[in-house]
Every structure is written in structure tokens, then in C-alpha cells.
């Protein structure tokens, strides 16, 4: 249900109204190379299931996906393992910071959900067992989904995160001590840091996630036929997890303000799914205290208010 069909005018209005929010957040600097990004950037792109695209601002500038990649690795693990993933990771909101370690001790090395760092590390561990070259396998899947043969990861960001990954490494070792890690933590961390350093623009990200708005169907591009990338049932479940766990300890606030399945990342990106309708990708590097993009959350809130998207889907 669309309240307002003039999307280009709505996007221009959101872009204008977001400008005064610059300076309210801070660029992530715990990974040194991420701190080098220009803070005052803002881009937004929409892809609809009927093939339209709309964008405004820096929608074609690649940025560091960071935790948004956790959505793709989880989908791959679910495709390969089905319900067996739930033996290794939970599906409850954590209510704790994305890199929190505390629940791992009380919950015997089983992370609360696949989108906090500990859970994402388990998922990357599962995929590391499955793929001899997970980095290229993941990139191949993303290139197909985004319809973009030139996607890559940023080696500087990868190295910078790998050199400062002590906390993630500690979580991996802790989970290994509980028998919830199959590979060497070093190997999994190599894959994880490479995965997080993948870059996409908003336009590419909206395209790459469109199957989640389309009952799992990826529309054939790059000369390939349509593909049921994920079953409709699994797609519905992924969206439920994104709604409840996709924004870390701000998941409740995001559900209240935006009401859509989302995945956020410390690169300043957020992707939101409007089941049956569209995907929205937004990027602005300044983050709030919980690691989510300030202008990104604002833009999504305004967009759902202006379009009515999501009002009937939850
Ligand atoms: N690579 C980051 C980390 O593990 C991802 C965190 C994020 O985007 N929230 O710390």
C-alpha cells in the first residue's frame, strides 16, 4: 500500500531534511581504516520488486558493508544447513551491544542470534567448513545477487580490522572452548574480516537484497535466468530475524520507529526490506551510540511515514 507514489520528490525532501543531522553521530574508529571515511556522506537507493530503481545523494559510492554481510552469510548457511544452524546459534534478540561477550559465558558458548558478532563468527565458522575458499564463494554469490561483476573487498579495511580483532578473536576462542567452533579461530577471523570489508553502493545493496522482498526469488540478470535463491518460507524467517535482531540492542527502537526488517553495519549502511514491495539501502557514516547510522535511521523513518510501507506487512 503506497500513500504516496512520487518517490523522487519524497527522496529529495528526505535528503534535504537530513542535512541538519550531520555532526550528531561519530564515524566508527575502533577499526582504524574505517575512521578515514568522509563523515558527511548520505546516499539512499530503492529497488522495487517490479523492477524500478530510485536513488538520491551518494547512492552510487561504495562503502564498507561490515555487519550487513552477516545477513548474506546467514542466508548462505541457512541454505546449506537448514534448521541444523540452530544447534550452533540462537534466534533471540540479545539486548546487548553488537560485540558483547557477556552472554556467551552464561549461555555455554551459544550466541544469542546470527547477527551479533559472536553469532556471525559461528556462521562464518560453518561456512569455512563448507567452502575451501569462502572469500571467493561469498564474493561470487554477492556479485550475482547485486548484478555487479566488479564487487570486491577493501584490503586496507580488511587488514586494519584483522590487526585489531582481539575481541572477536577472544569470542572465537571462548566458543571453541565450549565446542562451538570447528575451525581454527585464526582461519575464521581471516574470512570474517575479509567478509566485513566487502564494499557496495546503496544501489548495489538494494539490488542484492531484493530476493528478500520477493519471496526468495532473485530476478535473473547478467544474462542468467531467475533463481529461487532462498525458499519463500526461509525468506520469511530471515526477515523475522532481521526485524527482531538486525539492529543489535536498538532492534526494539528500530522496530518502533521503522517497523521493517533491517540490517545495520558500522560502516554506516542500513538495508531495510519491505516484503512484497521493495528494498531500501541507505548509507551515512556517522553513527549513534549503538553503532547505527544517524541519518540512515532518520531517512528510513521518514520514508515509511511517507509511503506507508510496512504498515500492512508486519
Ligand atoms: N567488522 C565489525 C566487527 O566485527 C562489524 C561490526 C558491525 O558492523 N557492527 O566489529
Question: Which contacts (CB < 8 Å, 24+ apart) does range 251-259 have?
Answer: 251/93, 252/93, 254/292, 254/297, 257/297, 257/300, 257/301, 258/297, 258/300, 258/301, 258/304, 258/310, 259/304, 259/310, 259/311, 259/314
CATH classification code of 7-307? 3.40.710.10
Query: How do the domains of the chain map onto residue ranges?
Result: 7-307
Mean of the pLDDT values across residues 203-219?
96
**Chain segment 72-111, per-residue pLDDT in tens:** 999 999 999 999 999 999 999 998 889 999 999 889 999 9
pLDDT, averaged across the chain: 94
Residue 1 is predicted with a pLDDT of 43
Mean of the pLDDT values across residues 197-223?
92
Query: Does residue 67 carry a catalytic annotation?
Result: yes
Quick one: which atom of ligand 1 is closest to the CA of 291?
Answer: 9
Ligand 1 neighbour 66 (Cβ under 6 A)? yes
Inter-axis angle of helices 155-163 and 185-196, to 10 degrees?
A: 140
Counted residue by residue, the chain has a size of 314
Q: Is the CB of residue 1 less than 8 Å from the CB of residue 312?
A: yes
Rounded percentage of the chain residues whose pLDDT exceeds 90:
91
Ligand 1 neighbour 49 (Cβ under 6 A)? no
Top-confidence residue, 107 or 281: 281
- With a cut of 70, say whether residue 259 has pLDDT above it: yes
Please report which confidence band the pLDDT of residue 226 belongs to, taking 50, 70 and 90 as the band edges. confident
**Chain segment 292-304, per-residue pLDDT in tens:** 999 999 999 999 9
Please report which confidence band the pLDDT of residue 3 belongs to, taking 50, 70 and 90 as the band edges. low
Ligand 1 neighbour 296 (Cβ under 6 A)? no
Residue 274 is predicted with a pLDDT of 97
Residue 225 is predicted with a pLDDT of 75
280 φ, ψ (degrees, to nearest 5)? -130, 125
* Minimum CA distance residue for ligand 1 atom 4: 117
Rounded distance between C-alpha atoms, residue 182 and residue 176, angstroms: 7
Distance of CA 48 to the CA centre of its chain: 18
Residue 283 DSSP label: E
Residue 311 is predicted with a pLDDT of 73
**Chain segment 117-168, per-residue pLDDT in tens:** 999 999 999 999 999 999 999 999 999 999 999 999 999 999 999 999 999 9
Mean of the pLDDT values across residues 26-50?
96
Query: Does residue 192 carry a catalytic annotation?
Result: yes
**Closest alpha carbon to 296 in 311, 314, 281:** 281
Amino acid at each position: 500500500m503506497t500513500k504516496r507514489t512520487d518517490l523522487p520528490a519524497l527522496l529529495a525532501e528526505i535528503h534535504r531534511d537530513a542535512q541538519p543531522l550531520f555532526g550528531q553521530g561519530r564515524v566508527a574508529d575502533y577499526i582504524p581504516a574505517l575512521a578515514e571515511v568522509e563523515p558527511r556522506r548520505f546516499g539512499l537507493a530503492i529497488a522495487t520488486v517490479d523492477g524500478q530503481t530510485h536513488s538520491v545523494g551518494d547512492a552510487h559510492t561504495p562503502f564498507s558493508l561490515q555487519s550487513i554481510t552477516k545477513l548474506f552469510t546467514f542466508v548462505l548457511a541457512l541454505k546449506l544447513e537448514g534448521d541444523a544452524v540452530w544447534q550452533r546459534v540462537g534466534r533471540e534478540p540479545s539486548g546487548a551491544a553488537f560485540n558483547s561477550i557477556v552472554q556467551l559465558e552464561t549461555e555455554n558458548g551459544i550466541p544469542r542470534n546470527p547477527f551479533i558478532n559472536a553469532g556471525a563468527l559461528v556462521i562464518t565458522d560453518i561456512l569455512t567448513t563448507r567452502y575451501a575458499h569462502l572469500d571467493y564463494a561469498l564474493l561470487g554469490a554477492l556479485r550475482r545477487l547485486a548484478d555487479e561483476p566488479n564487487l570486491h573487498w577493501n584490503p586496507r579495511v580488511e587488514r586494519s580490522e584483522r590487526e585489531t580483532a582481539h575481541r572477536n578473536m577472544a569470542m572465537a576462542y571462548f566458543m571453541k572452548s565450549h565446542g562451538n567452533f570447528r575451525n581454527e579461530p585464526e582461519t575464521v577471523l581471516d574470512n570474517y574480516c575479509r567478509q566485513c570489508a566487502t564494499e557496495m553502493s546503496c544501489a548495489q545493496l538494494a539490488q542484492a537484497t531484493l530476493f528478500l522482498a520477493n519471496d526468495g526469488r532473485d530476478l535473473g540478470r547478467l544474462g542468467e535466468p531467475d533463481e529461487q535463491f532462498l525458499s519463500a518460507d526461509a525468506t520469511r524467517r530471515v526477515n523475522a530475524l532481521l526485524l527482531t535482531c538486525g539492529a543489535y540492542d536498538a532492534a526494539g527502537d528500530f522496530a518502533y520507529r521503522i517497523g521493517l526488517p533491517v540490517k545495520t553495519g558500522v560502516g554506516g549502511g542500513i538495508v531495510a526490506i519491505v516484503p512484497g514491495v521493495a528494498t531500501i539501502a541507505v548509507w551515512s557514516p556517522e553513527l549513534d551510540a549503538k553503532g547505527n547510522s544517524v541519518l540512515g535511521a532518520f531517512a528510513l523513518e521518514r520514508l515509511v511515514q511517507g509511503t506507508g510501507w510496512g504498515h500492512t506487512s508486519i
